[in-house]
Amino acid sequence: MNPKTNISLPRPTITPVSQPFWDSIKQGKLTLQQCDKCLDWVFYPREHCPHCFHDQLTWQEASGYGQLTTWSVIYRAGHPAWQELTPYIVGIVKLAEGPSLLTHLLIEEKDVFHLMEVEMDIQEIGPHPLPFFKKKKEEN
Ligand SMILES: [Zn+2]
Distance in Å, CA 42 to ligand 1 centroid = 8
Whether 75 and 137 map to the same domain: the answer is: yes
Amino acid at 67: Q
Residues 104/74, Cβ–Cβ less than 8 Å = no
The reply to whether 55 and 76 lie within a common domain is: no
Q: How far is the CA of 60 from the centre of ligand 1 (A)?
A: 14
In which element (H, E) is residue 129 found? Answer: strand 128-135
> What domain count does the chain have?
2
Q: How far is the CA of 95 from the centre of ligand 1 (A)?
A: 18
Q: How far is the CA of 71 from the centre of ligand 1 (A)?
A: 29
Ligand 1 center from residue 33 Cα (angstroms): 10
Q: What is the pLDDT of residues 109-135, one digit of tens each?
A: 999 999 999 999 999 877 789 999 999
Please check whether residues 72 and 112 belong to one and the same domain: yes
Has residue 3 got a pLDDT over 70? no
- Give the distance (Å) from ligand 1 centre to CA of residue 64: 21
pLDDT, tens only, 71-80? 999 999 988 8
Tell me which residue of 67, 83, 66 sits closest to 75, measured CA to CA: 83
Whether 29 and 44 map to the same domain: the answer is: yes
- Residue 53 shares a structural domain with residue 80: no
Residue 125 falls within a domain, yes or no?
yes
User: Are 83 and 138 within one domain?
Assistant: yes
Say yes or no: 57 and 67 in one domain.
no
- Determine the distance separating the centroid of ligand 1 and the alpha carbon of 44, expressed in angstroms: 14
Are 91 and 119 contained in the same domain?
yes
